[in-house]
Chains A and B, each alone.
Chain A
């Protein structure tokens, strides 16, 4: 199902916060499960994280395997609550994983789950891609998508990592909860990553 909020931005350049969340080690984990259990394992994670992102005002762009890509679209005016919601959403996703999803799947005899999360802020182009009459979809393209993916690759299980561009926009309370962890090289320039303590 197409996301209406993203679809109506088709053809435009917009600012947004990107959230990547993926399951850690799931590929190896599901190899030992029956097909029914594999379905349950992924569905419980994707369904519940979708609820959390939606409850905090975000939108699902897509699922890529066991990775969820969420977006918080930033209006030009009144954008501050969206930044605060995105960071609180990431924190809640980790808490829901730890206290709701993982204990439930374990009680069903499935392996425990852990996820990692990355967030950043930037500008994207919303583009309709595909071939008419065969397959069309709306997607977003921009450096922030690649950067957030790189940040995610640096995250350990249960961590929330944030790019410098988003850190700049955080509420003081949240900013002081972040610790600088490492520096990426993006287009030849240093780019700091921060870890949210929660």
Chain B
């Protein structure tokens, strides 16, 4: 089933507060803000919100709060910054290429 146009906002975790636990899991409250490398909190025409400096998109605090309500149930994904060590990977590649030498 299609889910419409995909959209991405990266977040930075500012604070993690433990709020309880039961026999199955531990629970935390997490305060996150849009990644400040590309999002700035600004006031535009008297409205406070988040401005994306790469795309010149402005999302008011109210719109962000509305969007946050729709996030319930969406899994949190931690982006893999890299897969292993690049130098080790290239060395692995060299061995592979040399092993096939003369085929």
Q: Which residues of A pack against B, CB within 8 Å? A: 13, 15, 40, 43-44, 47-48, 51-52, 55-56, 74, 76-81, 83-85, 88, 92, 95-96, 99-101, 104, 108, 168-173, 175-176
Contacts and interface: CB of A to CB of B under 8 A. Distances in A.
B97 to A, nearest CB: 5
B80 A85 contact: yes
B38 A175 contact: yes
Given A48-B93, A100-B93, A176-B54, A80 B103 contact: no
Given A44-B97, A100-B93, A100-B97, A168 B77 contact: no
Contact of A96 (B54, B79, B83, B93): B93
Nearest to B12: A172
Interface stretch (B1-9, B13-21, B42-50, B59-67): B1-9
B77 A78 contact: yes
Chain B interface mostly: loop
A108 B98 CA distance: 10
19 contacts: A44-B97, A44-B100, A48-B97, A52-B93, A56-B83, A76-B2, A77-B74, A78-B75, A81-B80, A88-B80, A96-B90, A100-B97, A104-B98, A104-B101, A168-B6, A169-B6, A172-B10, A172-B37, A175-B38
Contacts of A101: 93, 97
A170 B2 CA distance: 20
A101 B100 CA distance: 11
A189 to B, nearest CB: 16
A60 B54 CA distance: 33
B38 A108 contact: no
Contact of B79 (A80, A99, A108): A80
Contacts of B83: 55-56, 85, 88, 92
A175 B53 CA distance: 12
B29 interface: no
Nearest to A89: B83
A50 B38 CA distance: 34
Contacts of A74: 6
B25 interface: no
A44 B74 CA distance: 42
A100 B94 contact: yes
B93 A51 contact: yes
B71 interface: no
Contacts of A96: 89-90, 93
B96 interface: yes
A172 B36 CA distance: 10
Contacts of A169: 6, 8
B22 interface: no
Contact of B1 (A76, A95, A168, A175): A76
